[in-house]
Amino acid sequence: MKAVFIGSGNVATHLAQALQAKGVIISQVYSRTQKNAATLAEKLNTSYTTDISEVYDKADIYFYALKDSSFRETLRKFDLPDAIHVHTAGSIPMSDFDGMATRYGVFYPLQTFSKEKEVDFSKVPVCIEAINTKVQQTLLDLAHLLGSKTYLISSEQRKKLHLAAVFACNFTNYMYDVSSQILENMGVSFEILQPLIMETAEKVQSIVPYKAQTGPAVRFDKKTISCHLGMLKNRKDLKKIYKILSKDIYKRHKKKY
Amino acid sequence: MKAVFIGSGNVATHLAQALQAKGVIISQVYSRTQKNAATLAEKLNTSYTTDISEVYDKADIYFYALKDSSFRETLRKFDLPDAIHVHTAGSIPMSDFDGMATRYGVFYPLQTFSKEKEVDFSKVPVCIEAINTKVQQTLLDLAHLLGSKTYLISSEQRKKLHLAAVFACNFTNYMYDVSSQILENMGVSFEILQPLIMETAEKVQSIVPYKAQTGPAVRFDKKTISCHLGMLKNRKDLKKIYKILSKDIYKRHKKKY
């Protein structure tokens, strides 16, 4: 199987490398940014182009791993009806391919990718959606080749999943960031909180988050809450978050406030 | 060394077991609740009492692992000037021992403990504070016996550390809980998010949270943000959290909104 990657960001980088390691031929990388295209092509020992008219047209599958905002305008420039076209995005509905391609689908790896860190795809859930069962089977086969667990997820569901991931990943990371600011302010290294962060994540691998909830809010420990709010008097932003989250945690567990 | 545990909750349970495994003799467990006292004493193969006048008075060290609200009233009932008295709480200042004991300190394991899950103390940072260097050395020795990393942390610092831990652990878990509610609502198992949660926590073991921040808010992806807010129209509580956190993340990274 021959694949072309349209895009050269984190998702493209990790996914292309993982597929190549399993025997998929990455024929070419396309990116508008020469530097990124060259970097990824070098990693894959393949060619690249920044000229859309020179994109290799004999691949079996084209992966669009682009910013959401560039997806449709880029897709529009392709006319390769025999190939499979898939995007890798959480929030783009599959219907964005309508009229632009005939064999298409979505291959959404539900994970956070960073340049600095290797990805083990056997631990990445892949959400799949396809225009027909034949394309679906090809995408399932590719995901299984990577050792990934697969989920058939509709566009509507994927949108909600992406929303859930914003809470579980992006907002969670902001909570880490807030804690690191508090530590920085007191001159203590962030490493002191790292084991707690790992354990908090590990807990919900076996217990539902509802049952894993601890802290002053869930036991309505007014004294600690008001002490903490007092400590945040010069950080109105954090005070607001602390108040709202404490109230919501209490409500969730006591059904009243 | 002989120790008595005052309290029989999660911290007492894990800490007493870990110390015993390293050769510390747990002479007795005291708790107001017979059932909890008996359960812990059985695990330790030691005796217990629910009568404070019968607490063993020849131990070298007394660990107070109690609810914050019961600490002082319980401590008041003890008059054992030769022993070391330590509490294990994040938010109780060491000065609460003033006039109640002469040799005292704090042994605060910065971790979240649950009944269901074993604790590896070699991964638990222990925050230590003591009235004098001799007591401090005893507490450092005990923590090192457990293989724990130790930090000398003042009461004022510990209070801030506890606040940081509320963000890094309790509020983080609530973010997980919110995401599990969204998944439940769409009929998809929470397991699909578990790898993302682990990876998000693992990232900040090597990258500072500020640099690990991803998501629609940090790239000011207005389209995705307003799509997500629309999806939360029936959950005003979550909509409010989404708005505030997105705004704060954006501000933190762009210095304006």
Q: Which of A11-25, A152-166, B58-72, B151-165 has the lowest mean pLDDT?
A: B58-72
DSSP state of B169: I
In this complex, which of B161, B182, B237 lies closest to A248 when CB atoms are compared? B237
CB contact under 8 A, A218 and B170: yes
The answer to whether residue B116 scores a pLDDT higher than 80 is no
Q: Global pTM?
A: 0.92
The answer to whether residue B256 scores a pLDDT higher than 80 is no
CB distance from A152 to chain B under 8 Å? no
**Percent composition of chain A: helix, strand, coil (DSSP 3-state, to 5):** 50, 15, 35
pLDDT digits (tens, 9 = 90+) for B186-224: 999 999 999 999 999 999 999 999 999 999 999 888 889
State residue B255's pLDDT score. Answer: 58
pLDDT digits (tens, 9 = 90+) for B233-243: 999 999 999 99
- Tell me: ipTM over 0.95: no
pLDDT under 50 in chain A at which residues?
256-257
Which domains, ranges and CATH numbers included, belong to chain B? Answer: 2-153 (3.40.50.720), 159-254 (1.10.1040.20)
Among B14, B72, B177, B207, the strongest candidate for a mutation testing the A interface, having the largest count of A CBs within 10 A, is: B177
State residue A117's pLDDT score. Answer: 80
- A-chain CB neighbours of B175 within 8 Å are 167-168, 171-172, 175
Residue B78: pLDDT band (50, 70, 90) is confident
State residue A68's pLDDT score. Answer: 81
Residue B1: pLDDT band (50, 70, 90) is very high
- B-chain CB neighbours of A168 within 8 Å are 175-176, 179, 193, 196-197, 200
Nearest to A47 by CA among A32, A26, A65, A33: A26
DSSP state of A81: T
CA dihedral A125, A130, A135, A139 (to 10 degrees): -10
State residue A254's pLDDT score. Answer: 86
CB contact under 8 A, B252 and A177: yes
In order of A15, B74, B224, the CA distances from A6 in angstroms are 12, 67, 21
CB contact under 8 A, A201 and B200: yes
- B-chain CB neighbours of A176 within 8 Å are 167-168, 172, 204, 209, 212
CB contact under 8 A, B176 and A212: yes
Q: What are phi and psi of A202, to 5 degrees?
A: -65, -35
Window 198-227 of B: residues touching A by CB (8 A cutoff) are 198-210, 212-218, 221, 223-224, 227
CB distance from B177 to chain A under 8 Å? yes
State residue A255's pLDDT score. Answer: 58
Window 45-64 of B: residues touching A by CB (8 A cutoff) are none
Nearest to A226 by CA among A237, A217, A235, A218: A217
Cα A196 to Cα A182: distance, rounded to the nearest angstrom: 15
CB contact under 8 A, B208 and A231: no
State residue B41's pLDDT score. Answer: 97
In order of A73, A175, B109, B231, the CA distances from B221 in angstroms are 17, 20, 40, 16
